[in-house]
A and B are shown apart, each in its own frame.
Chain A
């Protein structure tokens, strides 16, 4: 284990460079450059909020912030896992010809998305100030849910990246699943409008727990229960461990398939 970590660490500059490149590519040749990492979520937020709070008039406190907070988490989830899924296939030309620790590709994609998430979080806090949502000390614990979601996406991304090598249609299936999952996560609606059965069923959706966890610390001023803490950490650690094990076992084989 120790050797693995040390070996991985010796490639930290490569990891950093890959992340840097992802972010640079996203905003290349744009007039405002890095400012877009901040403006982009801000505008998307404003639009969705405007649309949804006009269409549905749910009685949710701080509805705009409710939508935005769910959305930035879900965007991170879908962006990071999708790009991680494509990362092994996309870097086939390297993997076939040079030795690099293979996890570096999916992991770098998740980190890039995470950097985008942090920018979105800054935009989010600006919005909270604009909407006059009180900011409490609970927000200091916001790294907890963020780390949980990060580990969860890393694990899932590792699994998807391997599956996509063997079965290309995983890419299409996953896109469909993501759309389904988006409506199955309370992003735009409050959970109390759901029939009891569906609400119960929603508990198998990890994103439901992460979004709830995130929201309570971000602006609801509640510290999540012990149960909720254990659940979220449990989910993310299991996914991470399963992902690492799954990837490790297959990494020497899939070079022959890309």
Chain B
């Protein structure tokens, strides 16, 4: 019995984009009385369904604002889908957006602990693996300065190093590799290959089609919140680049 690592079933995600933000009671009551409380309903995801087999490396491609990050946040459990279900089997390391789970005021060292704890690691585990994390991110010279003084590449390196210190069942990487330098990109590629040969399922968001063709075997193309095409990576990438 081969269970899917990820099952996405008819997932829709609705955001209430109220034209003006209502965050105080007076406005709320006035608007309610005048029946002006109209929310602009905006579906960032519309009936998205797909399955991912264990060990697959799936790319998610699409234009800016098409809903890729939103989809990943649903999978990571940050958003609960408005309708539909998303089932994820196994541990998940979500690397969504730069600096996720970091406190910019704290030092690198403090953030390794804080972020690690938020990923559900124990304090002891982080302490035992602290050197490996910093070594992989090659940030020894910066580990005791606040993150607000880091470059974006350095943030990405730290984030990647923390979330891959354990072998997750599912690794989510959202556009963070693009900001790393060549040395680090090579290191990341190597690490991802290593994890994948160990059975990790990969979900990768990137705008670099060459990178995607190299790393992934499947792809999902999302446009305005809906799935356009799912399939072998070369097929989907070709269709996408032909159209764009």
A225 to chain B, nearest CB (A): 40
Q: Which of B15, B101, B122 is A97 in contact with, Cβ under 8 Å?
A: B101
B78 to chain A: which residues have CB within 8 Å?
Answer: 95-99, 255
Which of B24, B26, B28, B121: most chain A CB closer than 10 A?
B24
Binary flags per residue of A90-120, CB closer than 8 Å to B gives 1, else 0: 0001111111100000000000000000000
Q: Are A256 and B101 in contact, CB atoms less than 8 angstroms apart? A: no
* Mask of B69-113 contacts with A, CB within 8 angstroms, 1/0: 000000011111000000000000010110111010000000001
**Contact of A98 with B23 in the complex, beta carbons under 8 Å:** no
Does A192 sit within 8 A of B, measured CB to CB?
no
B79 and A10 contact, CB distance less than 8 A = no
State whether the Cβ of B1 lies closer than 8 Å to any Cβ in chain A. no
Closest beta carbon of chain B to A65's beta carbon, Å: 40
Tell me if B114 counts as interface (CB < 8 A to partner A).
yes
In the assembly, what is the distance between CA of A169 and CA of B26, in Å? 9
Interface flags, B110-128, vs A, CB<8A=1, else 0? 0001110111111100000
Question: How close is B193's CB to chain A, nearest CB, in angstroms?
Answer: 25
Q: Complex Cα distance A160/B26, Å?
A: 18
- Min Cβ gap B116→A in Å is 9
Residues of A within 8 A of B76 (CB): 98-99
CA distance A98 to B114 in the complex (A): 12
**Would you call B149 an interface residue if the criterion is a C-beta within 8 Å of the partner chain's C-beta atoms?**
no
Asked if A166 is at the interface of the complex by the 8 Å CB criterion, the answer is yes
Given contacts A97-B97, A99-B76, contact A167 B120 (CB under 8 A): no
Taking a contact as CB atoms under 8 Å apart, the answer to whether B80 and A252 are in contact is: yes
Say yes or no for B152: interface residue by CB 8 A criterion. no
- From A11-19, A50-58, A208-216, A232-240, the one touching the partner chain is A11-19
- Find chain A residues with CB under 8 A from B94 CB: 98-99
Q: Which residue of B lies closest to A169 (CB)?
A: B24
Complex contact A256–B15 (CB within 8 A): yes
Chain A residues in 8 Å Cβ range of B38: none
Is A203 in the interface zone, CB < 8 Å from B? no
Within the complex, what minimum Cβ distance (angstroms) separates B179 from chain A?
A: 16
How far is A149 from B41 in the complex, measured between Cα atoms in Å?
42
Count A interface residues, CB 8 Å: 24
Contact A13 B122 (CB under 8 A): yes
Closest to B101 in A: A98
Per-residue contact bits, chain A 218-258, to B (CB 8 Å; 1 contact, 0 not): 00000000000000000000000000000000001101110
Tell me the complex Cα distance, A257–B80, Å: 13
Chain B's closest residue to A166 (CB) is B23
B118/A94 in contact, CB under 8 A: yes
Query: Which residues from 1 to 54 on chain B have a C-beta closer than 8 Å to any C-beta of chain A?
Result: 15-16, 23-26, 28
* Complex: A14 Cα to B79 Cα, angstroms: 21
Is A98 a contact partner of B113 (Cβ separation < 8 A)? no
In the complex the two chains form, what is the Cα distance from A94 to B104 in whole Å? 11
Closest residue on chain A to residue B104 by CB atoms? A93
Contacts of A167 in B (CB 8 A): 23-25, 28
Asked if A98 and B120 make an inter-chain contact with CB atoms under 8 angstroms apart, the answer reads no
Shortest beta-carbon distance, A160 to chain B, in Å? 14
Q: Which chain A residues lie closer than 8 Å to B16 at the CB level?
A: 256
Complex alpha-carbon distance, A158 and B63, angstroms: 39
For A168, give its contact among B24, B96, B101 (CB under 8 Å).
Answer: B24
Contact mask for chain A residues 11-40; partner B; CB cutoff 8 A; 1 contact, 0 none: 101101100000000000000000000000
In the complex, besides A169-B26, A256-B15, 12 extra interface pairs with C-beta distance below 8 angstroms are: A10-B120, A14-B117, A94-B103, A96-B78, A98-B78, A100-B118, A166-B23, A169-B24, A170-B25, A253-B80, A255-B79, A257-B23
User: What are 28 A-B pairs with beta-carbon distances under 8 A?
Assistant: A10-B120, A14-B117, A16-B123, A17-B114, A17-B123, A94-B118, A96-B78, A97-B99, A98-B76, A98-B78, A98-B115, A99-B78, A99-B94, A100-B118, A166-B23, A167-B23, A167-B24, A168-B23, A168-B24, A169-B24, A169-B26, A170-B25, A252-B79, A252-B80, A253-B80, A256-B15, A256-B16, A256-B79
A-B complex: 8 closest residue pairs judged by Cβ atoms: A97-B100, A252-B80, A14-B117, A98-B101, A99-B77, A13-B123, A169-B24, A168-B23
A residues with a Cβ closer than 8 A to B are: 10-11, 13-14, 16-17, 93-100, 166-170, 252-253, 255-257
